[in-house]
Structure 1
Amino acid sequence: MKRIYLDNAATTPILDEVIDAMMTVMKTNFGNPSSTHSLGQEAKMILEENRRLIAQELHVSPAEIIFTSCGTEANNLIIKSAVENLEIKRIITTEIEHKCVYETVLDVQQKSSIEVVYLQVNKKGDVDLDELENVLKTSDKTTLVSLMHANNEIGNLLDLEKTAKICKDNQAYFHSDTVQTMAHLKLDFSQIPIDFASCSAHKFHGPKGAGFAYIRKSTHLKAQIHGGTQERSLRAGTENVVGIAGLGKAFEFSVEKMAEFSEYIQGIKDYAIEQLTKNIPGILFNGRSAEKEKSLYTLLSISLPSMNPLIGLQLDMKGIAVSQGSACSSGAAKPSSVLSKILPEQVQQTTTPLRISFSHQTSKNDIDQLVNALREILGL
């Protein structure tokens, strides 16, 4: 049975070019990059070459790219260090952030006297930037604003440049979880006054276990993992040279192909919207996920017109992989925390949410087979 993969927002298949780059490093560059001998320095060169590659694309200094194990670690480093070392007294965020941000904010709130303000989101999942500006003006507390660039459940895009300007004008630090958009959208941090951002390689056909934090030099964050002086003393521990080589190769490939891939994937998404609308009466599109310019082109969030907690399993049995909320202890699925905040209760109780996410490897035939499978399961 041919498997159809439509869960690229969770992770992406590793490219052959990335595997080849990693294999070369694995075979020939086994030195510790902190060692002073030639084998160590060869490994160090791999780190710095990839750091420069990423920094050049983001228009930042290489010293501002700190390699981590993933986006979750990057977000934890940024938020916890900001609270501990920048005298942050208030965090402004939303209740629909990725769990690694939402839970980290809760953790620092429990361990300190920090104030947390949750901005309201409307039924489409939009953040009100006027409210952000008004809240920033209500207090002179040192503030960190943490708002994700693209929501990982519904794909809504935040106006990153406008948000960064509001924060800068009000002397607030700005952090954005850019895990879903890094290497998918053009980002120029010389033009966007953002202080912190995060990346995970496996979201753009790189390996798991490799990511980075962008940390603006002027902020002077300090480490959360202590030990050696690796990563500008911001992340102790021997670097994952193989993983970073894969990250760099995947980043380079995705940036070079960005225009081509984005046009192709948007076409696949448009086709999916058209076919789902035509063939599934009563289907809903959650958030802004069906709206061009307002949502990430790789992701589509839908609610099917009947309650079926096992539909993810039924699709999997037909060889189709999609995301259906989060798993609970019973093995059934429950709506994501994002959808529970933006969908009316009656919609949550009578529909089944699915997240469909695409890559340049997705075909229209994959969409056709998904639609046919859904029709069969729904008895249409």
Structure 2
Amino acid sequence: MIYLDHAATTPVHPEVAAVVQDVMSNCFGNPSTLHAIGREARGLLDKARQQVADLICARPEEIFFTSGGTEADFLALWGVVSSRKGRGSHIITSSIEHHAVLNNCAYLAELFDCRVTYLPVDGAGMVDPDDVRRAIERETALISIMHANNEVGTIEPVEEIAAIAREEGIPFHVDAVQTVGHLPIDVNRLGVDLLSLSGHKFYGPKGVGALYVRQGTPFTAVLRGGGQERGYRSGTENIPGIAGLGQAADIARRDLEEETQRLQRLRDALIQGIEERIPGARLNGHRTRRLPHNVNFSFPDVEGESLVLGLDLQGIAVSSGSACSSGTGEPSHVLRSLGLPESYLNGAVRMTLGRANTEEDIPVVIEALEGLVRKLGRLFSA
């Protein structure tokens, strides 16, 4: 199997699996207890908090562990908006956000009398910082723009947006689920106030993530209970998963530069080969400001899901878009926002590279994809 769906999830790194297994077998304590077994668990918790903080150049006390990226997005949005104590507020986001942001914005609009502005993007999936500035109102409580899009891989101008937010005194949240572990991230250089990440996107375990909250950001606890995570996210911590997340953060920091350069070479070879071999292929997303491992193409008058299934039969795993939206039968909201012609909307394939992929995979994928596009194109045009 050639696995090209790392944006959906990554295999657990062997070093991470070893840490998780060791903690599961040998450290069962509750980190909130005072005895030696509990203190051992607390030590692992503190170590992982430092490891995650180091990966994004934050302070450990600014890291709050969650069950994943969706919960981290939820906590960011609700924590800031609910801190306004029921007063009407305004959120600015983009039309291409992950549903973890879009659906929670819609829910907040119902519960807290919020208004939400959904900014458009250009044909490459880029938010215009000037649109952010124009959308700001007196009641704007939060700006939430993703660091890079999970489907088309476009990297957004978050530093410019952060500067605008800081100038206006508005908290700025970034969904960085697709970039943490794949791009160098310094929350201070980016200027963000809140940042979401998820372990299984960079070779950590599923079911664990984190939210960075800059000290001084207005934020109210949403999950209340025993006061864990300094009262912001109650519930006994998942120590094996958190330890695994910390180990994955260490590995990502160690290998980031070399692995990013390698994946960029594979990505560019795959893009070049598809454009040379398959007439009508359209690259979705920004050509240069894109994730190092993301390749997303649309093919006219071909069903993307048919391509996914056809490649799967040949031992190549890809997706037709976000794993969270697959199977709906509806064209991607991201591709619609890019303004793709109708004939291209349903014919998208996302290929996302990872550690196990090699140069030898690229011609195999191109040949298989070319054959399928030609075959399916004849069938749909018949």
Coarse TM-score class (shorter-chain normalised): over 0.9
1:343 Cα deviation from its structure 2 partner? 3.0
Instruction: Tell me whether 169-178 or 363-372 shows the greater mean CA deviation.
Output: 363-372
Aligned position for 2:315:
319
Give the distance between the partners of 2:291 and 2:51, measured in 1 at CA.
Answer: 24
Native 8 Å contact 2:183 2:256 kept in 1: yes
Aligned position for 1:379:
374
Aligned position for 1:340:
336
Native 8 Å contact 1:222 1:233 kept in 2: no
Give the distance between the partners of 1:287 and 1:341, measured in 2 at CA.
Answer: 11
Instruction: Tell me whether 308-317 or 210-219 shows the greater mean CA deviation.
Output: 308-317
Native 8 Å contact 1:18 1:246 kept in 2: yes
Give the distance between the partners of 1:340 and 1:285, measured in 2 at CA.
Answer: 14
Normalised to the residue count of structure 1, the TM-score between the two structures is 0.93
CA change 1:105–1:313 in 2 (3 A) is same
1:174 is the counterpart of 2:172: yes
Structure 1 residue matching 2:189: 3-state secondary structure: coil
Structure 2 residue matching 1:172: 3-state secondary structure: coil
Native 8 Å contact 1:325 1:335 kept in 2: no
Native 8 Å contact 1:177 1:198 kept in 2: yes
- Which residue, 195, 211, 214 being the options, matches 1:213? 211
Give the distance between the partners of 2:296 and 2:319, measured in 1 at CA.
Answer: 10
CA change 1:336–1:244 in 2 (3 A) is same
Give the distance between the partners of 2:90 and 2:145, measured in 1 at CA.
Answer: 14
Aligned position for 2:293:
298
1:360 Cα deviation from its structure 2 partner? 2.4
Give the aligned residue type for 1:107. Y
What are the residue-to-residue correspondences of 1:197-236 with 2, within 5 Å?
197-236=195-234
CA change 1:335–1:184 in 2 (3 A) is same
Aligned position for 2:380:
none
CA change 1:327–1:356 in 2 (3 A) is closer
Give the distance between the partners of 2:202 and 2:225, measured in 1 at CA.
Answer: 30
Give the distance between the partners of 2:89 and 2:141, measured in 1 at CA.
Answer: 6
1:272-299 deviation per Cα after TM superposition (whole angstroms, max 9, x unaligned): 01111121111100121xx22x111111
Give the aligned residue type for 1:192. L
Structure 2 residue matching 1:157: 3-state secondary structure: coil
1:330 Cα deviation from its structure 2 partner? 11
1:347 Cα deviation from its structure 2 partner? 3.2
CA change 1:329–1:210 in 2 (3 A) is closer
Aligned position for 2:135:
135
Aligned length: 372
- Which residue, 43, 58, 61 being the options, matches 1:60? 58
Aligned position for 1:368:
363
Give the distance between the partners of 2:15 and 2:76, measured in 1 at CA.
Answer: 31
Give the distance between the partners of 2:281 and 2:140, measured in 1 at CA.
Answer: 45
CA change 1:327–1:192 in 2 (3 A) is closer
Q: List runs of 5+ in structure 1 lacking aligned partners.
A: none
Give the distance between the partners of 1:151 and 1:271, measured in 2 at CA.
Answer: 21
1:333 Cα deviation from its structure 2 partner? 4.4
Structure 2 residue matching 1:222: 3-state secondary structure: coil
1:210-256 deviation per Cα after TM superposition (whole angstroms, max 9, x unaligned): 10000112024222211111111111111110001110111110111
Give the distance between the partners of 2:54 and 2:372, measured in 1 at CA.
Answer: 48
Normalised to the residue count of structure 2, the TM-score between the two structures is 0.93
What are the residue-to-residue correspondences of 1:124-273 with 2, within 5 Å?
124-136=124-136, 139-273=137-271
Native 8 Å contact 2:301 2:344 kept in 1: no
CA change 1:212–1:327 in 2 (3 A) is closer
Give the distance between the partners of 1:22 and 1:374, measured in 2 at CA.
Answer: 38
Give the distance between the partners of 1:239 and 1:378, measured in 2 at CA.
Answer: 48
Instruction: Tell me whether 50-59 or 90-99 shows the greater mean CA deviation.
Output: 50-59
Structure 1 residue matching 2:7: 3-state secondary structure: coil
Native 8 Å contact 1:184 1:258 kept in 2: yes
Native 8 Å contact 1:326 1:334 kept in 2: no
1:359 is the counterpart of 2:354: yes
CA change 1:328–1:12 in 2 (3 A) is closer
Give the aligned residue type for 1:103. N
Aligned position for 1:101:
101
1:364 Cα deviation from its structure 2 partner? 2.0
Structure 2 residue matching 1:190: 3-state secondary structure: helix
Q: Quick one: percent identity of the two aligned structures?
A: 38
Give the distance between the partners of 1:205 and 1:60, measured in 2 at CA.
Answer: 21
Native 8 Å contact 2:263 2:353 kept in 1: yes
Native 8 Å contact 1:184 1:204 kept in 2: yes
Instruction: Tell me whether 75-84 or 55-64 shows the greater mean CA deviation.
Output: 55-64
1:325 Cα deviation from its structure 2 partner? 3.3
Give the distance between the partners of 1:326 and 1:179, measured in 2 at CA.
Answer: 13
1:142-164 deviation per Cα after TM superposition (whole angstroms, max 9, x unaligned): 42000000000111111222111
Aligned position for 2:117:
117
Give the aligned residue type for 2:351. I
1:31 Cα deviation from its structure 2 partner? 0.7
Structure 1 residue matching 2:188: 3-state secondary structure: coil
